């Protein structure tokens, strides 16, 4: 009986280690940001401070977009990206807009469009892009402003993920853990 209980404890420990998620990190904090126009520097968009902002030298258009690109310097598995534009909400630019496209890629030339939309100051200044359980492999992220009534800008881009950041319990292990636990309960109950 003692050996059986020890084996259950061991299997439970293995299951916990296997299913413990890797801590999510903001990969953008160690990245390199570049932009095609800078009134305020591109590095402000990835410095972890909502009160600093990358701002381009004017309004963007479809024909003349302004963008900031982030290079993570390695390919990572990313679960989520949080975009925050023109923070803090101080009332000065209420209702102003930025129309944007957001791209990802593993090189700096082939891009995949993953989101488009419009930010409205004072109403809608944060977007969370989620890439599901298994995430998205990427090295580069590109926030491109293609229109709107506000100068192109971005307060913060958080890129959440890491290598091997999958925290899903594999189905066979779940069943083994459940079956072992139930078997142990039945055996302990029968011995009484």
- Shared domain for 59 and 95, answered yes or no, is yes
| pLDDT level of residue 13 (50, 70, 90 thresholds) | low
Q: What is the domain range of residue 173?
A: 1-20+168-192
- Shared domain for 112 and 176, answered yes or no, is no
109-126 residue pLDDT tens: 999 999 999 999 878 889
- Shared domain for 37 and 73, answered yes or no, is yes
- Shared domain for 63 and 110, answered yes or no, is yes
Q: What value does the mean pLDDT take over residues 75-82? A: 95
CB proximity list for 88: less than 8 A, separation 6 or greater: 50, 51
| pLDDT level of residue 33 (50, 70, 90 thresholds) | very high
Q: What value does the mean pLDDT take over residues 59-81? A: 96
- Shared domain for 132 and 177, answered yes or no, is no
| pLDDT level of residue 9 (50, 70, 90 thresholds) | low
Q: What value does the mean pLDDT take over residues 121-146? A: 91
Are 79 and 115 within 8 A, CB to CB?
Answer: no
Q: What is the pLDDT of residue 10?
A: 52
Q: What value does the mean pLDDT take over residues 38-67? A: 96
| Per-residue tokens: 31 | 């990245």
CATH number at residue 155: 2.60.120.260
- Shared domain for 173 and 158, answered yes or no, is no
- Shared domain for 55 and 103, answered yes or no, is yes
Q: What is the pLDDT of residue 169?
A: 42
- Shared domain for 57 and 142, answered yes or no, is yes
Q: What is the pLDDT of residue 36?
A: 98
Please tell me the total count of domains within the chain.
2
Burial pattern 153-187, b for ≥16 Cβ within 10 A else e, equals bbbbbbbbbbeebeeeeeeeeeeebeebeeebeee
Q: What is the pLDDT of residue 170?
A: 47
- Shared domain for 120 and 54, answered yes or no, is yes
- Shared domain for 180 and 90, answered yes or no, is no
- Shared domain for 41 and 133, answered yes or no, is yes
Q: What is the pLDDT of residue 91?
A: 75
Are 165 and 75 within 8 A, CB to CB?
Answer: no
**Does the pLDDT at position 130 exceed 50?**
yes
Residues 60, 115: Cα–Cα separation, whole Å: 18
Q: What is the pLDDT of residue 189?
A: 63
93-104 residue pLDDT tens: 888 899 999 999
> What would the 3-class secondary structure string for 67-92 be?
EEEEEEEEEEEEEEEEEECCCCCCCC
Residues 97, 26: Cα–Cα separation, whole Å: 26
- Shared domain for 99 and 121, answered yes or no, is yes
């Amino acid at each position: 009986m003692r050996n059986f209980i020890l084996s259950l404890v061991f299997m439970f420990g293995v299951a916990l280690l296997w299913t413990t998620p890797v801590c999510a990190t903001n990969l953008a904090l160690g990245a390199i940001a570049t932009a095609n126009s800078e009134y305020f520097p591109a590095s402000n968009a990835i410095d972890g401070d909502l009160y600093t902002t990358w701002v381009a030298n004017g309004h963007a258009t479809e024909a003349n977009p302004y963008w900031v690109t982030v290079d993570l310097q390695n390919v990572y598995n990313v679960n989520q990206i949080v975009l925050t534009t023109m923070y803090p909400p101080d009332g000065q630019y209420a209702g102003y807009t930025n129309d944007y496209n957001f791209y990802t890629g593993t090189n700096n030339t082939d891009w995949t469009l993953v989101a488009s939309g419009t930010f409205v100051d004072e109403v809608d200044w944060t977007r969370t892009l989620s890439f599901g359980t298994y995430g998205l492999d990427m090295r580069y992220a590109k926030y491109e402003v293609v229109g709107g009534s506000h100068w192109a800008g971005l307060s913060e881009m958080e890129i959440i993920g890491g290598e091997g950041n999958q925290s899903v319990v594999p189905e066979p292990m779940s069943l083994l853990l459940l079956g072992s636990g139930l078997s142990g309960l039945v055996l302990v109950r029968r011995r009484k």
